[in-house]
Amino acid sequence: MPDIDIIENAGDDTIATFIEAILRSKLTESDAPVAISVPGGSTPFPIMRELVKADFEWSRVTVWPGDDRVVPEDHEASNTGKIRALFEPVGAHVATLTVMEQVPHFALVWLGMGADGHIASLFPNTDPQVDDDAPIRRLTPDPLPPEAPFDRVTLTIPSLLDSDALMFVIRGDDKRAVFDGAAEGESDLPVARLLGAARQQVTCFT
């Protein structure tokens, strides 16, 4: 079980500054490109809007959606389309998540979590495995969330774990209770499987 650093009541600017520091450090370490993975949903985008204000060499950064709905990028439900609209104007590259993509090692994987313990689009019904031999999978959540009744494409647990650091933003007491239980190994939910296999630093902002 990893060491989990819990940062309570963090504002969007605090979280953006944390991500910026990781990116700046990685960009300074070498001339190699840097990849990060980010979530969709309503919580992350205000944080991302703060992050893109950072002044560094965005052209060396590739941003990967952790998951997406299987819809065109101009659909209102597309994570990739929204991520692309934020990051490409500052010069970053945005990956399109398909099962044929070659997934890199990530400097940071940023995850949200549902109240059912799902991460990315690894829902409990999909039985995600820590030794999955596929880096990306197309899946159907069951039940389909009524606000987004679409198939999903998602990074698998091994791809998420192929990272220097993991970061969560968990908002709400119900989700916090699920996360805390998973961190203590009290469930077999997708988030618990990920945390149980993680060996890198995990930071959770609430």
For the stretch 163-196, pLDDT in tens is: 999 999 999 999 999 999 999 999 999 999 999 9
Indicate the SS3 state at residue 95: coil
Q: What is the pLDDT of residues 86-111, one digit of tens each?
A: 999 999 999 999 988 999 999 999 99
State mean pLDDT over 61-73. 97
pTM listed for this prediction? 0.96
Parallel, antiparallel or unpaired: strands 165-169 and 152-155: unpaired
Residue 137, pLDDT > 70, answer yes
Q: What is the pLDDT of residue 106?
A: 98
Domains in the chain: how many in total?
Answer: 1
Mean confidence (pLDDT) of the chain: 96
Q: Is the peptide bond before 143 cis (omega within 30 degrees of 0)?
A: yes
Q: What is the pLDDT of residue 147?
A: 84
The CATH number assigned to the domain holding 111 equals 3.40.50.1360
Phi, then psi, of 69 in degrees rounded to 5: -80, 145
Q: What is the pLDDT of residue 1?
A: 62
Q: What is the pLDDT of residues 14-37, one digit of tens each?
A: 999 999 999 999 999 999 999 999
Domain that holds residue 158: 4-205
